[in-house]
Amino acid sequence: MRVDLIQYTPDPEKVVAAAARLCYSADPVPELLERLDDEKVANFVRKLRDMGHLSPFEHVSFQFSIDGVSRALSHQLVRHRIASYSQRSQRYVKENGFDYVIPPSVQRKPEAMERFEKAMAYLQEEYQALQSMVPAEDARFVLPNACTTSLMATFNARSLLNFFEHRTCLRAQWEIRGLAERMLDLVREVAPNLFSEAGPTCVTLGVCHQGAYSCGRLQTLKGKKT
């Protein structure tokens, strides 16, 4: 997996602070921006976050390139609808010799690994054979979820906070959790105040919404505090 932050709104935290300040000021945005120093921006962003007033966060966006992830991951990723996606097409790009993601649980068991790789080899052979019989867009129907893909994804900051809340949770599927953790590291480098409290609710709010499906992490965290 490779994840890069390829573009983002310049001075994202300052933009968020100015957008929020505009709601209570008759001055135009350029003048508001001039009067915002780093300390004021940091305080304003923290105040907005603590109040849950997150609509100003929607004015800044972050664009990622994501490579070497599985189609199983991309199917989960697009469930986060307040974002924009572009993905390598299996209709127009042939997947001859496709790479694939191997789950850690498979890698740990030699017998499972043997069966997995055998299945990938079989599907590759059948995919190539089908291309001589039907259009590539129809041959792709035999390609596995393990097949790797590349995407470009653009999120606003508010949508990213929601994404991190759900996908850095220990109950999130391992591959998309790894993606979320890398994305969070990248945005914290350029907007530390916006994302300082990003993460699963057990960590950020001290609550868990998983009910009977909870991983138990919250109890561990509470135990550390006592």
Which residues make Cβ contacts (< 8 Å) with residue 107, sequence separation at least 6?
A: 113
Q: Annotated binding residue at 167?
A: yes
- Active-site residues: which are they? 167
Q: How far lies 222's CA from each of 101, 202, 219, in Å?
A: 36, 9, 5
**Annotated binding residue at 182?**
no
Tell whether 49 is in a known binding site: no
Query: To the nearest 10°, the Cα dihedral for 13, 156, 176, 100?
Result: -110
75 assigned to a ligand binding site:
no
Interatomic CA distance for residues 149 and 5, integer angstroms: 17
Establish whether 193 is an annotated binding residue: no
217 among annotated binding-site residues: no
Helix axes 174-190, 157-167, angle to 10 degrees: 140
129 annotated as belonging to a binding site for a ligand: no
Point out the annotated binding site. Answer: 55, 76-81, 87-91, 140, 156-158, 162, 167
Point out the annotated binding site for FAD. Answer: 55, 79-81, 87, 156-158, 162
Point out the annotated binding site for dUMP. Answer: 76-79, 87-91, 140, 167
